[in-house]
Amino acid sequence: MKYSAKVLDAASRPTAREFPALERPPVIWDDDRWWRFTERTDLHETHYLAVHAADGALVALAPLLLTRDGGGLLFYDVPKMTGNLGAFGDPAHLTEVERTRWEELTAALARARPAQYPSVALSVFGSHHGIVHATGRTDDERREVLAELPRLLEDAARFLGCASHALLYATDEQAETLGPAAADLGHVPAVLGAESVLHLQAPDWDTYLATLVSRKRKRANRELREYAEAGFTTVVREGADALTGPVVDLQVALRAKYGLPGGRPRVERDFAAIRETVGDSALVLSAERDGETLGFVLYLRSGDALFGRTAGFDDDRAKGVYFALTYHETIRWSLANGVRDIWYGLAAYDAKKLRGCDLEPRHGWFHFTGEGHQVLTETVRLQGDGENGRLRSLGPNSTTPQGD
């Protein structure tokens, strides 16, 4: 075969010095520094799939997130995300017959999931596919690797002793090649949502506002006016020192609100890891009043793009601040500082599309082998159909093929 692959652990993977494609790439999630952040998680084992050509040359590298027992992060724990609408899916966009079947299947998931571990996902934090090709590779050569990737991932899952695996968060362009290759192996396709990306083409804020249709321009001006009248100002901090104590406090409160585990120790540990790995790319916009931080959004910058990482707001004292800070103030700063793309992540599509984001679909392919695998296989297929229906209902820039 033209390509082979080897599973590496974090200690033995190539660094940016050895694999230059990892050195400050356009997408922060493909950066060697971000991969070092991911390696510090205690929720997954981080491995890598190293793809080699017939002559032995390393032509691609991709992260593998292995979950032993169901304790992984939702978006990368393959059995856990199957049937969990917090990950993706919308049964409201299924037929009545499909919704009935969905209810039957999800009732059986608790019994079927345990047999699907260990499980491995080809993906990286940031809801990104994570596949990095060696520098100098042509488009045709990259497609050749993608065509082999489902087979190589299946071999890696077998090597790691996994009962299930998935390739997650591929783009439409990648799906054109990955989909047929995965289908040949019997892997189940599913639409996982869409990355919301705001492409900025105006040279400055005033020109940007002038390009908006009247109702959107009025909304932006109203939200900014209310933000100022409420006494808020925006403070911008860059670098590792941007993650201040108040930002930690707001993040702790946010996690508590949604019942996420770990509390303050986890937040402090995660922020310390960000400082030590991608700290020089950190950008925090804070909504402050009378010297007090009542809201923030954390981005990571790579070149002319910002990538949203997390945000937090004081729900009682910062009402209405979210849109002013996360969109208008962020856009204003971006236009003045050479940023042309803002990646806002998956979910909340209505609000993001309303504020000008393009919705760029993301695809996955799943394979289950343990006892009860039929339950998860049928569930994830319906789940992907529901998510695809949700995106289609949003109109242009939202539709997507299943990739199979």
pLDDT tens, per residue, the chain with 404 residues: 799 999 999 999 999 999 999 999 999 999 999 999 999 998 999 999 999 999 999 999 999 999 999 989 999 999 999 999 999 999 999 999 999 999 999 999 999 999 999 999 999 999 999 999 999 999 999 999 999 999 999 999 999 999 999 999 999 999 999 999 999 999 999 999 999 999 999 999 999 999 999 999 999 999 999 999 999 999 999 999 999 999 999 999 888 887 777 789 989 999 999 999 999 999 999 999 999 999 999 999 999 999 999 999 998 899 889 999 999 999 999 999 999 999 999 988 988 988 889 999 999 999 999 899 999 999 999 999 999 999 999 976 543 333 22
Judged on CB neighbours under 10 Å (0-12, 13-18, 19+), 237 is middle
Long-range contacts of 80-88 (CB under 8 A, 24+ apart): 80/113, 82/109, 82/113, 82/366, 82/368, 82/376, 82/379, 82/380, 82/383, 83/109, 83/376, 83/379, 83/380, 83/383, 85/383, 87/192, 88/190, 88/191, 88/192, 88/193, 88/346, 88/383, 88/384, 88/387
On whether the pTM is more than 0.85, the answer is yes
C-alpha distances out from residue 321 to 95, 245, 286, Å = 38, 20, 10
User: How many Cβ atoms are within 10 Å of 54's Cβ, its own excluded?
Assistant: 9
Write the DSSP string, 187-218. PEEEEEEEEEEEE---SSHHHHHHHS-HHHHH
Is the N-terminal amide bond of 118 cis, ω within 30° of 0?
A: yes
pLDDT of residue 117: 98
CB 137 within 8 A of CB 59: yes
Please give the Cα distance from 31 to 152 (Å, whole number): 22
d(CA 237, CA 282): 8
User: How far is the CA of 256 from the CAs of 231, 246, 261, in angstroms?
Assistant: 27, 15, 8
* Helices (H), ranges, 278-364: 321-323, 330-336, 349-354
Using only C-alpha atoms, the chain has a radius of gyration, in whole angstroms, of 21
Give me the pLDDT at residue 195, please: 97
The tokens describing 229, both together, are 């009248």
Report the first-to-last Cα separation within the chain, whole angstroms. 23
